[in-house]
Structure 1
Amino acid sequence: MSALQSSVFRSSLQQLLSSTFTMLNCFHGLQPKHIIAIQQTRIKAMALQLIAIIHGSNVSALGLCDAFLSEMTTLKKLSIEHNVRMNEIINDMFEAIGSLNQPRPGTVGRILQPIFLNSSTSKICDLSNIVDNDALQDFKKITMTKGEIIEPIEKMDSSLKFTAGLVLEVPFTAILEHVKDIRNIRIKVQYPDQQIQLIQPKLNEFRIKTERKDDNNDYKLVTKISISSYGVWSGPSLIEINLLIDFRDISSSSLSTTQIYSSLLTKSSGIKSTRSEDNLVIEICKPVRLMIHPMKPKRCVI
């Protein structure tokens, strides 16, 4: 595998882990079979990631291996508790790892590799355990955390001008649906130089719109965001405003230790993220772009 192919492969695995993390934390009403199917996909991706690191990198795979084994244990408990049949390839992985006296990264990676090499694509991507006669009815009950920015309105033909070094306050209003914990909501402002400002709204700025028994409520967020730039820009340029769920504050997170640990593996896995946020940050709405122009202070002539 060439360096380019290896990079694309690793990026694809990272994207898969990011997507499954989003599914587990932004989709509500999932049945145990859905959660187990997602967890199985995560474990396959982590296994391939571990194999890639063992054979194509000199970085430590200890953190990834520990997280992989921990998620395997969690998956086994879930499948037994809910009596859900797992994929054949997952069962093969359990059997192989169970034969190891001391499952270290090197031995785990080497024992997993033949399982994938000898398995067909249909076997690796088997979803038969969630596609049954009741699947459509189950899917109709699933809801998703999402948001919509009402204000500011995207403007491309005019710019907001302010003095460099000072702060421009912009009114911000958004609708949030099916949010479990408003403490994890952040407003992201991304500047043209890729610098990112994260703003945590105050709890009293959230107004509840719809309250549900499962605590996945709808809210209206009304606040102001502060835009600033210390430097003078030669002309107007675009900033991007978005809404995020940020799980990096573990103390206010409902995630399990395993989920948090296994999602903080970008550095230890040797895979560089293509985004400024790590895997514990999820975008939940379409961004709004504004044109701003920090200008020179006006000189007062006396």
Structure 2
Amino acid sequence: MQRVSSVDQSSTKMRMTIYQTVHSDLVKLADIDPALSPAAHFAALYTQCMLLFTKILSTRNWLTPSSLSLQQSGALKSNVDQLLKHTFRLRHAFTNLSPAEEASIRNLRVRTLALQLVYVVHGSTGSALGLCDNFLEHTEALHRYLTDEKLSADSFLEAVFAELSQLEEPRPGAVARILQPLLLTYPVPALGPITNPAQVHMCSAEIIEPQPDSETIHKLSAGLVVGVHLDSEISHIPDPSTLRIRVAYPDHSTHLIVPPRNHLRLVSPGTYRLLTTVLISAQVSWSEACHVGLSLVLDLSDQEVLSARRHSVAKADDSATIIQLVKPVKVLVWPKSIRKGI
């Protein structure tokens, strides 16, 4: 990360090249050193966010999406969506961080919400009131956290705090006008040295059964359900009540299932074992054997975008508040058509 901290005055192209190189090196470190893997993933994700910020802010006419080509507009929206998901994961998937490291990711999240607000105010005709209040709530929470931990705000946050304190009524347009020049003036600071890299935890899971290479076919009558045994181990989840089983069907629909509480047990500090049966349904329209994906996720939708809900703003993509713990395991489901009686 030392290379990243020294590129503030470099050209945009040079900064992006360095961010990509550092990100690649950290991903390799995570793969070869299990003890440092969580910390390396944490730093890699932070660096990826720095790269996305640079891409977005260096896009010509990013504040007027209507003037961009269809391809440019799509790429810009994709980068903003990715940034929101990455900072959400940074905020919730890693634990045992120092107060300074926690402040860094909260700062990055606030910057991302600021960028989202500016982007939506300039590029959409819909209401941004919920997004604005959500940004203000995160900003106030970060201000309290820095005060409680006796930490200093960086130049961006100091400017934000000062400007917001002078607003009589923080309407979305007024707040966006304040944030726009600040985002361009103060680049995202590099992540400082991680205090105890071997102590950082990242939530994860391993599905023991069903096996990913299993050829077992689960047969059922169309319109009914079949039970699939699920055996898994989950590590370092902050709140077990947010654990969900995600079922992805061939028609691209997904269901989140809350596992029964007594099917999840603590086997060691920070580690849980889930033994349960997942009920999978098959639509009448299915006629052939199809793969259904099973995975484990954290559903944190109740912890984010509270203001947006209060103002009845159009709901954001659910995936923005879902943290995937393990890659889906595919099970083969064969719905047999119902024979009609004579």
TM range (shorter): 0.7 to 0.9
Residues 232-273 of structure 1 show CA distances to partners (whole Å, capped at 9, x for unaligned) of 52322211111011234x4xxxx5xxx4526869x94x7963
**Residue 91 in structure 1 maps to residue 155 in structure 2:** no
Which amino acid letter does the alignment assign opposite residue 235 of structure 1? Answer: E
Asked if the contact 1:147/1:243 (under 8 Å) is kept, the reply is yes
Which residue pairs with 2:143 in the alignment? Answer: 76
Greater length-normalized contact order (CA 8 Å, ≥ 6 residues apart): 1
| Distance apart, 1:154 and its partner CA | 2.1
* Other structure's SS at 2:160 match: helix
Which residue pairs with 1:146 in the alignment? Answer: 204
Which amino acid letter does the alignment assign opposite residue 280 of structure 2? Answer: I
Matches within 5 A, 1:1-302: 1=61, 2=68, 3-117=70-184, 119=185, 123-127=186-190, 130-132=191-193, 135=194, 137-155=195-213, 159-211=217-269, 217-248=270-301, 250=302, 255=303, 259-261=304-306, 268=313, 273=317, 277-298=318-339
Normalising by structure 1, we get a TM-score of 0.81
- CA distance, structure 1, for counterparts of residue 259 and residue 241 of structure 2: 8
- CA distance, structure 1, for counterparts of residue 77 and residue 100 of structure 2: 27
Question: Which segment is superposed worse, 3-12 or 228-237?
Answer: 3-12
- CA distance, structure 1, for counterparts of residue 300 and residue 162 of structure 2: 33
Which residue pairs with 2:48 in the alignment? Answer: none
* Other structure's SS at 1:179 match: coil
- CA distance, structure 2, for counterparts of residue 60 and residue 7 of structure 1: 21
* Other structure's SS at 2:127 match: coil
- CA distance, structure 1, for counterparts of residue 308 and residue 129 of structure 2: 14
Which amino acid letter does the alignment assign opposite residue 125 of structure 1? Answer: V
Asked if the contact 1:17/1:45 (under 8 Å) is kept, the reply is yes
* Other structure's SS at 1:14 match: helix
Q: Judging changes above 3 Å, is the alpha-carbon distance between structure 1 residues 93 and 10 closer, same or farther for their aligned structure 2 residues?
A: farther
Q: Which ranges of structure 2 fall in alignment gaps of 5 or more residues?
A: 1-60, 62-67
| Distance apart, 1:220 and its partner CA | 1.1
- CA distance, structure 2, for counterparts of residue 40 and residue 264 of structure 1: 23
Which amino acid letter does the alignment assign opposite residue 230 of structure 1? Answer: Q
Normalising by structure 2, we get a TM-score of 0.72
Which amino acid letter does the alignment assign opposite residue 234 of structure 2? Answer: L
| Distance apart, 1:188 and its partner CA | 1.1
Asked if the contact 2:114/2:179 (under 8 Å) is kept, the reply is yes
Asked if the contact 1:237/1:292 (under 8 Å) is kept, the reply is yes
Asked if the contact 1:155/1:291 (under 8 Å) is kept, the reply is no
Asked if the contact 1:10/1:49 (under 8 Å) is kept, the reply is no
Which amino acid letter does the alignment assign opposite residue 243 of structure 1? Answer: L
Larger fraction in strand = 1
Q: Judging changes above 3 Å, is the alpha-carbon distance between structure 1 residues 264 and 154 closer, same or farther for their aligned structure 2 residues?
A: farther
Q: Which ranges of structure 1 fall in alignment gaps of 5 or more residues?
A: 212-216
- CA distance, structure 2, for counterparts of residue 271 and residue 298 of structure 1: 42
* Other structure's SS at 2:196 match: helix
Which residue pairs with 2:22 in the alignment? Answer: none
| Distance apart, 1:207 and its partner CA | 2.6
Equivalent pairs counted in the alignment come to 274
Q: Judging changes above 3 Å, is the alpha-carbon distance between structure 1 residues 232 and 59 closer, same or farther for their aligned structure 2 residues?
A: closer
- CA distance, structure 2, for counterparts of residue 232 and residue 62 of structure 1: 42
| Distance apart, 1:287 and its partner CA | 1.0
Asked if the contact 1:242/1:287 (under 8 Å) is kept, the reply is yes
| Distance apart, 1:21 and its partner CA | 2.1
Residues 126-163 of structure 1 show CA distances to partners (whole Å, capped at 9, x for unaligned) of 12xx524xx2x422211111111111112475643322
- CA distance, structure 1, for counterparts of residue 213 and residue 339 of structure 2: 26
Larger fraction in helix = 2
- CA distance, structure 2, for counterparts of residue 24 and residue 115 of structure 1: 22
Query: Aligned Cα RMSD in Å?
Result: 2.6
| Distance apart, 1:171 and its partner CA | 1.0
* Other structure's SS at 1:69 match: helix
